[in-house]
Amino acid sequence: MTVPMLKIGAVLSTMAMVTNWMSQTLPSIVGLNGTTVSRGGTSERIVSALYPSPEEGWQIYSSAQDADGKCICTVVAPAQNMCNRDPRSRQLRQLMEKVQNISQSMEVLDLRTYRDLQYVRNTESLMKVVDGKLKVASENPRSLNPKGFQELKDKVNQLLPLLPVLEQYKTDAKMILRLREEVRNLSLVLMAIQEEMGAYDYEELRQRVLLLETRLHSCMQKLGCGKLTGVSNPITVRASGSRFGSWMTDTMIPSSDNRVWSMDGYFKGRRVLEYRTMSDFMKGQNFVQHLLPHPWAGTGHVVYNGSLYYNKYQSNIIIKYHFRSRSVLVQRSLSGAGYNNTFPYSWGGSSDIDLMADENGLWAVYTTIPNAGNIVISRLEPMSLEVLQTWDTGFPKRSAGESFMICGTLYVTNSHLAGAKIYFAYYTNTSSYEYTDIPFHNQYSHISMMDYNPRERVLYTWNNGHQVLYNVTLFQVIKTSGD
């Protein structure tokens, strides 16, 4: 059966952001530090957990079950004259701020879901209209010639499988509304705790957050790979470094690892900065330095499963550098690939070889003399860096501003300057291409790095000394129980 497709909208990256915030509350009721990120005139708070010592504040000393089987935990509260100094009092206030941030993200998710639900409803109405015409034609066959009748019947048969999918989508939309209500209830519970500061079942609260996270993951798992249909407004995270560079998070590791890497410049660089969290990157603090054994070329680097993959300066050699062991695990020449500004993107910068990762694995985008300077895509084996399969897109690399992979599809921008659009897509699954017209706001007018992160489902860009994120809208495939 062919899985039908619906436009769900750019909810994935928002949901991943909410899940990340929520997961930070799970170990305990902890202290929080906040940092503000500019998002088109609004603000969002990115938080990081600071774990208190076991001696601080509230302590659970026994537990039991009531008649309904609910877990009841008894806690030892600090002395009344210590309440104002109890770190839990401060931590609860900060946690309430965190729940408020979650609620704001859920509002954004709700707005996007409402917009796309209108599209779903329009599709459903169209299907009913077509079905009605088929019934009229069935009752009066003379009103439709045999060929037209068969075409209409085939069209309806193709639309009918959408019905259970539409029902599933409406169910998912209702589930998102329930999640929003549960977050609101959680906020009310925390307000009550703040007012009373009495005994409370913290484990129950933790389980509620776990349940919310589980439901969010369940919703995300229903959404598979999709076709890019839109890019959000830019989210400026930081302004740092020179005009050219790259920054990234790991495309494969668990969401609990929030490290960020930054590599300033496009040639002969060896210094990689590793930040503990996104918040630390924004502040420029809490980082360690890796000094690479070989300098890099270009900005087409990628961090994949704990290792940095990059192009060695003045060569077509790809290096795999492991951060934990601080060593080169493997290096291999990309046969025939141009280097040293032989076949760069339109902005130059030794951007001959662009390494990237998506839902399907590790990729290299480059070109060769036999391919007449047209973009070549090769899927790489991450352990050995062997080329598994190669595609010739037929698109001249020097005419491209930047490119990135999503779900096995290469998307190419027509420029690195202001007014750029995503206007070419090559599909490796069908070895076919099409010209697109997907605008995005190139806020700082000079992009030297643009890569997709499949774990967070956002685009990372380095734009004229600014580190910028974009959410993406994908034309999604919904998995139903009958598929």
pLDDT tens digit sequence for 104-131: 666 665 665 665 666 666 666 667 777 7
Quote the CA–CA distance of 325 and 322 in Å, as a whole number: 6
CB 228, CB 472: distance < 8 Å? yes
User: In which residue ranges of the chain is pLDDT below 70?
Assistant: 1-126, 141-144, 148, 155, 158-166, 168-169, 172, 175, 190-206, 209, 212-224, 255, 476-483
Quote the CA–CA distance of 464 and 93 in Å, as a whole number: 39
pLDDT of residue 42: 34
pLDDT tens digit string along 456-465? Answer: 889 999 999 9
pLDDT of residue 89: 59
Quote the CA–CA distance of 195 and 189 in Å, as a whole number: 10
CB 50, CB 32: distance < 8 Å? yes
Quote the CA–CA distance of 419 and 413 in Å, as a whole number: 10
Quote the CA–CA distance of 38 and 51 in Å, as a whole number: 27
Q: Of 24, 19, 73, 76, whose CA–CA distance to 50 is shortest?
A: 24
CA 347 to chain centroid: 26
Quote the CA–CA distance of 393 and 206 in Å, as a whole number: 50
Q: Which residues contact 81 (CB under 8 A, 6 or more apart)?
A: none
Q: CA separation (Å) from 162 to 167, 198, 220, 249?
A: 9, 52, 20, 37
pLDDT of residue 65: 46
Q: Burial letters for 171-198: b for 16+ Cβ neighbours within 10 Å, e otherwise? A: ebbeebeebbebbeebbeebeebeeebe
pLDDT of residue 257: 83
pLDDT of residue 275: 97
pLDDT of residue 11: 35
Quote the CA–CA distance of 334 and 379 in Å, as a whole number: 11
Quote the CA–CA distance of 197 and 207 in Å, as a whole number: 20
Q: Is-above-0.75 flag for pTM?
A: no
* Residue 272: strand pairing partners: 290
pLDDT of residue 139: 75
Strands 245-248 and 5-7: unpaired
Helix (H, G, I), strand (E, B) or coil at 79: coil
- 87 φψ region: left (φ > 0), alpha (ψ -120 to 50), beta (else): alpha
* Residue 446: strand pairing partners: 417
Between CA 109 and CA 118, with CA 113 as vertex, the angle to 5 degrees is 155
Q: CA separation (Å) from 340 to 108, 347, 352, 393?
A: 44, 13, 7, 22
CB 414, CB 421: distance < 8 Å? yes
CA 314 to chain centroid: 33
Quote the CA–CA distance of 286 and 270 in Å, as a whole number: 19
pLDDT of residue 225: 78
CB 303, CB 333: distance < 8 Å? no
